[in-house]
Structure formats: C-alpha cells, structure tokens
Amino acid sequence: MGELLDVNAGTLRGWIERVEVDSGVRPGTTGEEHAEIARLKKEVAELRRANEILKTASAFFAAAELDRRLS
C-alpha cells in the first residue's frame, strides 16, 4: 500500500498506529493526551523556575533584614 502512495512503509505503519491509539483500538497515549502532558510539563518547568526566583529573593531579603537588625 505504501508504494502506491509513495510513502515509506514505516511512516504508514506509524500513521495507522496513531489512528488506532486515538480511536481507542490500541492502548497508548492519544494525541490529545500527549499535548496535555507536554503543556503540563512546560507549566511545571515554569513553576519550578518561579519557585527558585522566590527562594532566592526570600533569602536575599532575609539576609538584608538580618543585616539591618545587626546594625
């Protein structure tokens, strides 16, 4: 079939497997689930960066407060 469409057999097989997973015929992560996982991973990375910034700022202000009290 792939030769008729001038498509590599592996590519065609991948397309078929993706359709089967998305339709629930084959187990696996659907395209929609994959997109949601990618979005959540990005969000987690952003939240971790924000937490690091907040920790650094907190330590900075705590040190400044300590310096102020000791002066």
Q: What's the pLDDT tens digit per position in 24-62?
A: 999 999 999 999 999 999 999 999 999 999 999 999 999
The whole-angstrom separation of Cα 58 and Cα 62 is 6
Q: What is the pLDDT of residue 1?
A: 65
The whole-angstrom separation of Cα 51 and Cα 15 is 40
Q: What is the pLDDT of residue 33?
A: 96
Q: How far apart are the first and last CA of the chain?
A: 82
